[in-house]
Amino acid sequence: MSFVRQLSSAVLVSAVSASVVFSPRAAEAQALPTPQQLAARHDSLIGGRAALEARKSVRMVGSFAIPAMGVDAPVEINKLRPNKYLFRTSLGPMGEILSGYDGTRAWQIQPGQPPALLEGAAADQIKEQGDFFGDFHDFARFTSAETVDQATVDGRKVYRVKMVRPNGDAVMEHFDVETGYSIGGTMSVATPMGAMETSFSYGDYKPFGGMQFATRVVQRNPQFEIIILIASVEFDTLDEAAVAVPDAVKALIKP
């Protein structure tokens, strides 16, 4: 609702309501930037979509840790334009965790479980990760987006933006008031045990190939914390083999 319509409604109701319109709280709400403004600022800070338009692939290498379980392993994240993706981390004797998207199907392999083709929310999450331009905001994926308020999270002032997916799930994203970067938020993540509320944070943005990447990603859920640290980012070094579907998953695909 615009400021003019708020004021008009207040005048029609009573002079008391008009005083609410001019309260500091309402004035602060009017001053909040829109989700589109916040997203545009962040997307520009990390290099802008044009910087990635000239690229065909991205390979990120680093470490994957679950401190509560004593896990500290190497991680590799491969993306091939437009939407092929592979995530791989090795847990030593336990085996590998792999997930990916081949442009049509999402899949995963986890230690102690059979390979699986994913469906529903779990598949949608992997598909989003496979989007080559997924680091840039696309509000077409959501039915609504609004800047809720300005708050203090982990000692930093942030604008909180609420985005609602077509299935009704809500994602809350936090934009640092001072720097403009997206620094995390909260969302519901599909797991084999059902939907799980998680928080996530991005930090330590560093330059690679003319772009800025968050090199520290932390995801927290009620059970444990996952920490991904990115050490290097390479462009245009991958081919189809780098994102190929494993034979164990191919066997699940019907002709």
Segments of 102-143 assigned E as strands: 106-109, 116-117
Q: Is 121 helix (H, G, I), strand (E, B) or coil?
A: helix
Q: Is 95 helix (H, G, I), strand (E, B) or coil?
A: coil
Whether 24 maps to a domain, the answer reads: yes
Whether 12 and 37 map to the same domain: the answer is no
User: Percentage of the chain surpassing pLDDT 70?
Assistant: 85
pLDDT value at 26 more than 50: no
State the pLDDT at residue 14. Answer: 24
Q: What is the pTM of this model?
A: 0.80
Whether 43 and 102 map to the same domain: the answer is yes
Contacts of 101 (CB under 8 A, 6+ apart): 83, 84, 85, 107, 126, 127, 129, 130
pLDDT higher for 29 or 17?
29
**Helix, strand, coil percent values for the chain (each to nearest 5):** 25, 45, 30
Whether 69 maps to a domain, the answer reads: yes
User: Residue with structure tokens 């998207």?
Assistant: 101
Whether 198 and 220 map to the same domain: the answer is yes
Q: Span 79-96, mean pLDDT?
A: 90
pLDDT higher for 172 or 187?
172
Whether 113 and 1 map to the same domain: the answer is no
Whether 255 maps to a domain, the answer reads: no
The amino acid that residue 172 corresponds to is M
Q: Say how many domains are in the chain.
A: 2
Whether 4 and 119 map to the same domain: the answer is no
- Indicate the length of the chain as a whole number: 255
Whether 25 and 88 map to the same domain: the answer is no
The amino acid that residue 194 corresponds to is G
Please give the Cα distance from 148 to 114 (Å, whole number): 42
How many Cβ atoms are within 10 Å of 238's Cβ, its own excluded?
19
Whether 19 and 41 map to the same domain: the answer is no
**168 φψ region: left (φ > 0), alpha (ψ -120 to 50), beta (else):** left
Q: Span 31-51, mean pLDDT?
A: 95
Q: Span 131-149, mean pLDDT?
A: 94
How confident is the model over 102-138, as pLDDT tens digits? 999 999 999 889 999 999 888 988 998 999 999 899 9
Whether 2 and 123 map to the same domain: the answer is no
Confidence band of 187 (pLDDT split at 50, 70, 90): confident
Contacts of 189 (CB under 8 A, 6+ apart): 125, 195, 196, 197, 198, 219, 221
Q: Whole domain around residue 7: which residue ranges? A: 1-31
Nearest to 199 by CA among 210, 215, 188, 191: 188
Mean pLDDT of the chain: 85
